[in-house]
Amino acid sequence: MAPYRQVPMRRLQMIDRLRQHWFTLGLFGVVIVSLSGFGLPLGTVIIPIGVWIIFLAQGVILGEGSPHSEQNWCGTLTFVLCWNFLLFPLVTVGLLWVTGLWEQSDFAFGYWLLAFLPTTIASAVAMTSGAGGRVEHALLATVSSNLFAVWLVPMIAVFYLAIEAEIEIALWPLVLRLLILIVLPLLIGYGLRRFQFPGTAKLAGVARPLTQGILLLILLVAFSRSFTSGELTGLNFGALRELLLVCGALVLLVSALVWFSAGRFHFSYHERISVFYCASQKSLATGVPMIGSVLLAVGPENASAINLLPILCYSPMQLLLGGYLVPYFSRQ
């Protein structure tokens, strides 16, 4: 009877693994489908609608609240925001400048956008909790980082395109479009959750898989368009190797600098864990729709999937490193 009992258990374990990694498998599926030449009709309509729904869901998540801790929450918040939007960009630009990639890389704009993206919410809080860090500090830092990025990232993107690409951009139409695409749904979702409208608790429960599903749809549109135009097919092995090496170097370099610099600020060990996960990570769930909406607002001709590759490469690397360190931190 033993063999018959093991078969269902193995199937359940396989199903559980598929559930845990379905988004990663979906990314591979998106690339394969895009390579086949498949293209979604009404792609320019799908992306704005998808972005609107994603930020509505993000607003609901933010509306769940971020409890304050009386112990040094101001210090940890300031540290995380400085790393997210000041020191991480400086490290990124410095790395690209030293290696000579700032003016030569096909991914320069994507690296620039990656550097200013906000921290993750779900994974940073989950890893902080698993490693024994202060979850309340992580909640406050991640929520604040994502709210701040809504205003900062579009300005940074416009600044780069105006200086490096010499693209003239009408600022007020761009701001109005981004207010409708990003800020409005974020505020609606936040208000619905804070005032406990019926159904928002259920929406908060499915926000993560809903966001991931829409992300795959947005990526399918972007990748299909880029493969059809020849932008991605023109990348050679050297370019992809550069992407992997730069993202890997950023993950290791930023993580090390965040950990050691946190020690200089006399944070407690548990606070140090919280700032490590919040200051070194970048959000895929917020980053992809934010980059997509900004580039579409600037002009569809700038909405290349090449600009999404750095965050798509950085995200799994940060999760692998962060997950590997959780048991180490928790044992200390």
pLDDT at 96: 96
Whether 1 shows a pLDDT value over 50: the answer reads: no
pLDDT tens-digit series, residues 102-119: 888 989 999 999 999 999
User: Between residues 224 and 136, which one has the greater pLDDT?
Assistant: 136
Give the pLDDT mean for 72-92: 92
Say if residues 313 and 201 touch (Cβ distance below 8 Å): no
Lowest mean pLDDT among 9-23, 93-107, 198-212, 215-229: 9-23
pLDDT tens-digit series, residues 118-135: 998 888 988 998 899 988
Q: Is there a domain that residue 60 lies in?
A: yes
Q: Is there a domain that residue 102 lies in?
A: yes
Looking at the structure of the chain, the number of domains it has is 1
pLDDT tens-digit series, residues 23-60: 777 878 887 887 776 766 666 677 788 888 888 887 88
pLDDT at 70: 47
Q: Is there a domain that residue 20 lies in?
A: no
pLDDT at 4: 46
Token pair belonging to 167: 């693209």
User: Between residues 237 and 95, which one has the greater pLDDT?
Assistant: 95
Rounded Cα gap, residues 49 and 35, in angstroms: 24
Q: Is there a domain that residue 135 lies in?
A: yes
Nearest to 56 by CA among 218, 173, 152, 200: 200
Q: Is there a domain that residue 12 lies in?
A: no
CATH of the domain at 148: 1.20.1530.20
User: Would you say the C-alpha torsion 13, 14, 17, 22 has a positive or negative sign?
Assistant: negative
Q: 3-state DSSP call for residue 84?
A: helix
Rounded Cα gap, residues 331 and 325, in angstroms: 10
Provide the residue type at 22 as one letter: W
Token pair belonging to 161: 């395109």
Mean pLDDT (the chain) is: 82
pLDDT at 231: 65
- Give the CA count within 13 Å in the CB-facing half-sphere of 325: 21
Token pair belonging to 181: 């695409």
pLDDT at 14: 67
pLDDT tens-digit series, residues 234-243: 778 899 999 9
Domain of 281?
42-211+237-331
Nearest to 276 by CA among 141, 147, 111: 141
Whether 88 shows a pLDDT value over 90: the answer reads: yes
User: Between residues 82 and 182, which one has the greater pLDDT?
Assistant: 82
pLDDT tens-digit series, residues 273-286: 999 999 999 998 88
Q: Is there a domain that residue 223 lies in?
A: no
Q: Is there a domain that residue 192 lies in?
A: yes
Query: What does the DSSP assignment read for 246-294?
Result: HHHHHHHHHHHHHHHHHHHTT--HHHHHHHHHHHH---HHHHHHHHHHH
Which ranges of 22-134 does DSSP label H, i.e. alpha helix?
22-35, 43-62, 73-82, 88-99, 108-116, 122-131
pLDDT at 69: 47
Q: Is there a domain that residue 271 lies in?
A: yes
Token pair belonging to 300: 């569809």
Rounded Cα gap, residues 137 and 75, in angstroms: 10
